[in-house]
Amino acid sequence: MKLNKEIKNRIDQYFENITPEELYFKAIGYGFKEEVDIEIDNQSFKNVGQNFYCSNSDTSLDANDMESLLLAT
């Protein structure tokens, strides 16, 4: 599924502005299972970094511009 730039920006803003706690409770509300039987005592953890995907080309469509939309005939 290809998204236009406006929708991509809205999704990015949503995840930039939601706290981990809010996201956790939303996920549980949508039916994700909470695993509470994990033993984490005396284990070391690494910090997780951010990874970004950057496409080599812009494949978005401007839904406001009928010329840029492919239409079946």
Rounded to an integer, what distance in angstroms lies between the CA atom of residue 20 and that of residue 24?
Answer: 6
Q: Which residue, chain included where needed, has tokens 């730039």?
A: 5
Q: Which pLDDT tens digit goes with each residue over 47-67? A: 777 777 777 777 666 666 666
Classify the C-alpha dihedral 53-58-64-70 as positive or negative: negative
Q: What percent of the chain lies above the pLDDT cut of 90?
A: 12
Per-residue pLDDT at 16 exceeds 70: yes
Q: Is residue 4 in some structural domain?
A: yes
Q: Residue 52: inside a domain, yes or no?
A: no
- Inside any domain, residue 6: yes
Confirm whether 56 is domain-assigned: no
The model's pTM:
0.40
Is 55 contained in some domain?
no
- Answer whether residue 17 is part of any domain: yes
Residue whose entry in the numeric block shows the structure tokens 């033993």? 39
Supply the mean pLDDT for the chain.
78
Residue 20 included in any domain: yes
d(CA 4, CA 9): 9
Domain span at residue 28 reads 1-33+63-73
In a domain, 22, yes or no: yes
